[in-house]
């Protein structure tokens, strides 16, 4: 009974904490429909907002057990709601409602409902499947659940385990957010049930679809985002891989939402979007090292884009301010684990200090092309990824060609390229045999690149859908639409 | 190259659709055609794979429901060919606060054995060397002559080649 209720209780706790954060940031308005729509996002925000400070506590030597975690969730949720309650009224005008909610698009919502209800039935089957799935994927038990069981046993980062060479096989440098996520489930369930814990991960995917739909609904009509999202969630590269309990899909989930929010911030500059994006990217960085590199890449690209193409009313330096603030927030989110690693003399597999040495890189340059071929080879396996990357590339190309959200399209394209390049760089400098390294990881690490493509697809498809027919523009005497106009259309011109 | 071809194929479809809709490739028709291609592709992929995906989940659920929880808990070890019943027995003999050292070197070098054993033995910790261990675990080895008899008691056997010895 307790094991059955544990995921529900944890979902509610994380959701409450996340709703507090969303309310404090004015990201949701205080209405039942908006709160219900935001529950998926609230869950993911709650996971990040609770587990990042929990990791901070762990690195300070504080044991994180269930009562402490419940208190942390409650404190974050209540504090957020308190902040929102104090501000309520003065910022009401800034609250952004889903654009489609104003349209009364009955058929549009009906089409989306058919997809979402069908996906809901599939999700229920997924829960049943996840609840009895044995934990048998190697890295799942050797790395992630291994650390989770240790956290359950000791509540903290006992160096004899988390920093011992005897356990170096489990990648001591990998951050502990995912083991903590599992450990909390085990504690709540009252037992280390390695079958039922799969439900905790399936919840992540459902929350992701819900959250991405909620965010996308601000710029995209339901009949567009719903099929894209549910088809993608069905793709074997996502659903099957997630249930191995490897970290690659969880990283990609947080990365995707973070990058989508960065893209939205580029088009409308709402501080809440940038703040949430920073939280999501820091969460991804605390799941796996690929998340750190990808999150950093996204923020560097963001800074580059705003410097190259600042808003008309701002200087380049002033335009850079928010991006630098996000970068600083990201670094603060990443630092506790990195400091703990440093203080326990833990180093990763990758010789990062040599990684910018030209002679080191030149000596290993024969590793680059096979890595590119292998990684690109994964992105074209469409029975696994359902054409997300080529569709995203095509959408980006069309946006660039016809001048719709060019800056945002460039951001997604460059971020995807940088995430791809970051992975190639890791293979380039890795001391491992390249053939073995590629064969054991390239199918998984490609996930992040695909999820960046999904973010682009969700955002830019919505922007394209709002491009008015030429005859309508001629009728109204409007000039050809530039980036800023297209961006404003996304916000204010229902189709 | 394949990725490029797939992308070009989608763009070509967009261009063709756009030309059909508006008579030429205009800004609006290109945008509308792109959206149409994305939605149709996503819809076809979703409905085309839904049944198989759902059935795969349902079949797997039925299969896995028949697996007893005790067997499911060690499925990872069984999958990599480790003697999980011996490790379960060793767990029952060694106190949770004690540490152990896996012997012989062949077993330590075998990643499947070493990693699964250290996972299944938690919270008992793996020591870096025999001198620091409270117990020795002999995995597929005959203990005689392979360890300091003065420091450890006589081996207690689970079955042939599988034994543990406690520090005196």
Q: How many residues does chain A have?
A: 495
Q: Which residues of A touch B32 (CB under 8 A)?
A: 464-465, 467
Q: Is A389 on the interface with B (CB under 8 A)?
A: yes
Is the CB of A104 inside 8 Å of chain B's CB atoms? no
pTM (predicted TM-score): 0.92
Q: Assess B24–A contact: CB distance below 8 Å, yes or no.
A: no
Residue A489: predicted pLDDT: 40
The residues in A 67-96 lying below 8 A from B, measured between CB atoms, are none
Restricting to B residues 84-143, those with a Cβ less than 8 Å away from any Cβ of A are 96, 111, 114-116, 118-119, 122-123, 125-128
Is the Cα torsion angle B73, B78, B80, B81 positive or negative in sign? positive
Asked if A457 reaches chain B (Cβ–Cβ under 8 Å), the answer is yes
Residues A365-403 as b/e (b if ≥16 CB within 10 A, e otherwise) read eebeeebbebbbbbbbebebbbbbbbbbbbbbbbbeebb
Integer CA distances (angstroms), B103 to A142, A174, B76, B154, in order = 19, 28, 21, 15
pLDDT tens track, chain A, 495 positions? 777 787 788 999 999 999 999 999 989 887 888 899 999 999 999 999 999 999 999 999 999 999 999 999 999 999 999 998 887 654 444 444 555 455 556 888 888 899 899 999 999 999 999 999 999 999 999 999 999 999 999 999 999 999 999 999 999 999 999 999 999 999 999 899 999 999 999 999 999 999 999 999 988 889 999 999 999 999 999 988 999 999 999 999 999 999 999 999 999 889 999 999 999 999 999 999 999 999 999 999 999 999 998 887 888 888 899 999 999 999 999 999 999 999 999 988 888 778 788 898 899 999 999 999 999 999 999 889 999 999 999 999 999 999 889 999 999 999 999 999 999 999 999 999 999 999 999 999 999 999 999 999 999 999 998 886 655 555 544 444 444 444 444 433 332
Distance from CA of A419 to the nearest CA of B (A): 16
Burial of A243 (0-12, 13-18, 19+ CB in 10 A): buried
Please give the backbone phi and psi of residue B158, each rounded to the nearest 5 degrees, phi first: -90, -55
Burial state string for A95-109 with b = 16 or more CB within 10 A and e = fewer than 16? ebebbbeeeebeebb
Look at the block and give the residue holding tokens 């809709």.
B21
Contacts with B, A 158-217, CB within 8 Å? 160-161, 164-167, 169-170, 193-195
**A170 with B76: Cβ contact below 8 A:** no
B137 forms bridges with which residues in the sheet? B102, B164
User: β-strands B125-126, B162-166: how paired?
Assistant: unpaired
8 Å CB contact of A231 and B42: yes
Size of interface A-B (CB pairs under 8 A): 192
> Between chains, do A166 and B41 touch, taking CB under 8 Å as contact?
no
Distance (Å, whole) CA B6 – CA B10: 6
As a whole number of angstroms, the distance between CA A162 and CA A153 comes to 13
Q: Which of A94, A395, A102, A95 is nearest to A222 (CA)?
A: A102
Among candidates A132, A138, A228 on the partner chain, residue whose Cβ is nearest the Cβ of B65: A132
Which B residues, 32 through 71, put their C-beta within 8 Å of a C-beta on chain A?
32, 34-35, 37-39, 41-43, 45-46, 49-50, 53-54, 57-58, 60-61, 64-65, 67, 69, 71
**Cα–Cα distance, A454 to A227 (Å, whole number):** 12
ipTM of the prediction: 0.92
Contact A199, A131 (CB under 8 A): yes
The answer to whether the beta carbons of residues A77 and A14 sit under 8 Å apart is no
Tell me which chain B residues have a C-beta less than 8 angstroms from the C-beta of A132: 61, 64-65, 67, 72
Write the CB contacts of B119 (distance below 8 Å, at least 6 apart in sequence). Answer: A141, A142, A145, A146, A149, B76, B77
Residue of A nearest to B28 (CA): A469
Closest by CA position to B29, among listed A290, A398, A408: A398
Three-state SS for A154? helix
CB contact under 8 A, B38 and A140: no
Q: What are phi and psi of A10, to 5 degrees?
A: -65, -40
3-state secondary structure of B125: strand
Residue in chain B closest to A225 (alpha carbons) equals B39
3-state secondary structure of A97: coil
Taking the Cβ of residue A126 and every Cβ of chain B, the question of whether any pair is shorter than 8 Å is answered with yes
| Residue B6 three-state SS | helix
- Report how far residue A262's alpha carbon sits from residue A467's, in angstroms, rounded to the nearest whole number: 22
Residues in chain B: 168
CB-CB neighbours of B71 under 10 Å:
12
A349, A441 contact by CB (below 8 A): no
Lookup: tokens for B143: 């203990």
Q: Which residues contact A40 (CB under 8 A, 6 or more apart)?
A: A206, A207, A208, A209, A210, A211, A212, A213, A214
User: Of the candidates A226, A263, A304, A294, which has an alpha carbon nearest to the alpha carbon of residue A399?
Assistant: A263
Please name the residues between 207 and 246 in chain A that touch chain B, using a CB distance below 8 Å: 223-224, 227-228, 230-232, 234-236, 239
Picking from B3, B35, B76, the nearest residue to A389 by CB comes out as B3
Report yes or no: A259 and A215 within 8 Å, Cβ to Cβ. no
């Amino acid at each position: 009974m307790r094991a059955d209720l544990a995921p529900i209780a944890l979902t509610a706790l994380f959701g409450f904490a996340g709703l507090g954060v969303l309310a404090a940031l004015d990201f949701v308005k205080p209405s039942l429909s908006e709160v219900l729509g935001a529950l998926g996002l609230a869950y993911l925000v709650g996971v990040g907002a609770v587990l990042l400070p929990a990791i901070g506590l762990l690195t300070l030597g504080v044991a994180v057990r269930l009562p402490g975690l419940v208190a942390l969730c409650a404190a974050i949720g209540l504090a957020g709601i308190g902040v929102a309650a104090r501000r309520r009224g003065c910022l009401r005008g800034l609250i952004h409602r889903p654009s489609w909610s104003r349209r009364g698009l009955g058929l549009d919502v009906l089409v989306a409902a058919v997809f979402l209800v069908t996906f809901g039935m599939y999700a229920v089957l997924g829960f049943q499947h996840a609840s009895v799935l044995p934990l048998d994927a190697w890295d799942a038990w050797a790395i992630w659940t291994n650390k989770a069981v240790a956290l359950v046993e000791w509540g903290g980062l006992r160096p004899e385990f988390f920093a011992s060479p005897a356990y170096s096989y489990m990648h001591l440098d990998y951050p502990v957010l995912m083991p903590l996520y599992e450990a909390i489930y085990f504690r709540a369930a009252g037992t280390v049930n390695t079958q039922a814990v799969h439900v905790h991960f399936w919840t992540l995917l459902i929350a992701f679809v819900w959250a991405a739909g909620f965010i996308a609904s601000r710029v995209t009509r339901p009949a567009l985002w719903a099929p894209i999202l549910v088809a993608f969630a069905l793709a074997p590269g996502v659903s099957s891989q997630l249930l191995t309990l490897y970290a690659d899909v969880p990283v990609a989930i947080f990365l995707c939402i973070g990058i989508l929010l960065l893209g939205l911030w580029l088009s409308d500059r709402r501080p809440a979007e940038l703040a949430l994006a920073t939280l999501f990217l820091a969460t991804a960085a605390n799941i796996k090292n690929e998340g750190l590199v990808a999150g950093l890449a996204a923020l560097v690209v963001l800074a580059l884009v705003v410097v190259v193409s600042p808003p008309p009313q701002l200087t380049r330096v002033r335009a850079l301010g928010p991006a630098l603030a996000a970068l600083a927030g990201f670094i603060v989110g990443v630092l506790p684990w990195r400091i703990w690693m440093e203080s326990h003399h833990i180093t990763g597999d990758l010789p990062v200090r040599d990684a910018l040495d030209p002679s080191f890189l030149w000596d290993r340059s024969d590793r680059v092309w096979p890595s590119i071929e292998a990684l690109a080879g994964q992105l074209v396996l469409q029975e696994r990824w359902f054409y997300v990357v080529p569709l995203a590339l095509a959408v980006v190309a069309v946006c660039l060609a016809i001048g719709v959200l060019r800056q945002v399209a460039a951001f997604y394209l460059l971020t995807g390229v940088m995430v791809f390049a970051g992975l190639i760089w890791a293979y380039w400098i890795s001391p491992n045999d390249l053939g073995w390294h590629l064969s054991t990881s390239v199918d998984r690490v490609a996930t992040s690149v695909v999820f960046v493509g999904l973010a682009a697809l969700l955002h830019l498809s919505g922007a394209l859908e709002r491009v008015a027919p030429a005859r309508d523009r001629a009728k109204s005497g409007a000039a050809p639409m530039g980036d800023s106009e297209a961006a404003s259309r996304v916000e204010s011109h229902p189709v | 190259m394949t990725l490029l071809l797939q992308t070009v194929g989608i763009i070509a479809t967009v261009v063709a659709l756009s030309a059909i809709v508006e008579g030429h490739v205009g800004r609006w028709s290109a945008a509308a055609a792109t959206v149409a291609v994305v939605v149709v592709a996503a819809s076809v992929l979703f409905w085309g794979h839904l049944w198989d995906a759902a059935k795969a989940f349902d079949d797997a659920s039925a299969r896995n429901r028949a697996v007893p929880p005790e067997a499911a808990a060690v499925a990872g070890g069984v999958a990599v060919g480790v003697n999980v019943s011996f490790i379960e027995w060793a767990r029952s003999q060694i106190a949770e606060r004690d540490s152990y050292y896996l012997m012989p070197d062949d077993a330590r070098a075998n990643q499947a054995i070493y990693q699964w054993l250290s996972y299944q033995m938690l919270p008992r910790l793996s020591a870096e060397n025999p001198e620091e261990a409270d117990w020795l675990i002999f995995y597929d080895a005959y203990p005689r002559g392979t360890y300091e008899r003065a420091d450890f008691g006589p081996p207690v056997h689970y079955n042939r080649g599988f034994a543990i010895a406690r520090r005196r």
